[in-house]
Amino acid sequence: MIPALEPATELHAPAMAAIHQAAFPPGEVWSAAVLGLHAGLPGGFGFIDPRGGLVLARTIMDESEILTIGVLPQARRLGLGTRLLRAAMDQALARDARTMFLEVAEPNSAARALYTSLGFTDVGRRKRYYSNGDDALVMRVALA
C-alpha cells in the first residue's frame, strides 16, 4: 500500500534533514534548523513522502513558490516527485494562490523534466545564480 503524504511541520525537521542530506549534493544540503525554519514561515507548508521525499513551499497573497523538493536516490523515477509537487500545487491553490514559481539549475535536467511534466514553463533566467556558476531558470505554472 502506498503511504499517505504527511504535512511537514517544524517538528519534522530532523526527518526532513535526513531526506535532504541524501537527496542533494553536499553543497546544497539544508540543515534541520533551516528546514524547520522554512516549514514554519508565515504561509509556509510542505509534505513528506514516508518512502523518502519532501517538498516545502510558501504562499504569499496569490503567488506560491517551491522552496525545495527532493527524493532519495533509491526512490527516484517512481512518481514520488510528481506526487509531492502535485500536492504542493493543490495546497497552494487551496490557499488562494493562482501561480506557482520555482528556480532550478539549468543543468538539472531531471528536475526540469519533472516540472515541465506538470505544466511549468521557463519565464526567466538568473545569471550565475548558484555558487558553482550555474544559471537558474525561473519556471512558472498557472494553478487555476
Residues that bind ligand COA (CB under 6 A): 23-24, 69-71, 76-82, 104, 108-111, 113-114, 117
Helices (H) then strands (E): counts for the chain: 4, 7
Least spacing, CB of residue 88 vs ligand COA, in Å: 12
Least spacing, CB of residue 12 vs ligand COA, in Å: 17
Catalytic residue flag (residue 103): yes
What secondary structure does DSSP assign to 57-100, as a single string?
EEEETTEEEEEEEEE-GGGTTSSHHHHHHHHHHHHHHHTT--EE
Catalytic-labelled residue, pool 10, 28, 103, 106: 103
Q: What is the three-class DSSP state of 28?
A: helix
Closer to ligand COA by CB, 100 or 114: give it: 114
The DSSP bridge partners found for residue 69 are 55
Contact 68, 21 (CB under 8 A): no
Contact 58, 67 (CB under 8 A): yes
Closer to ligand COA by CB, 44 or 70: give it: 70
Cβ-proximal residue to ligand COA, closest one: 81
Least spacing, CB of residue 97 vs ligand COA, in Å: 19
Those residues with Cβ within 8 angstroms of residue 4's Cβ, 6 or more apart along the chain or in another chain = none
Closer to ligand COA by CB, 36 or 70: give it: 70
Closer to ligand COA by CB, 109 or 121: give it: 109
Least spacing, CB of residue 91 vs ligand COA, in Å: 17
Catalytic residue flag (residue 129): no
Q: Which are the catalytic amino acids? A: 103, 115
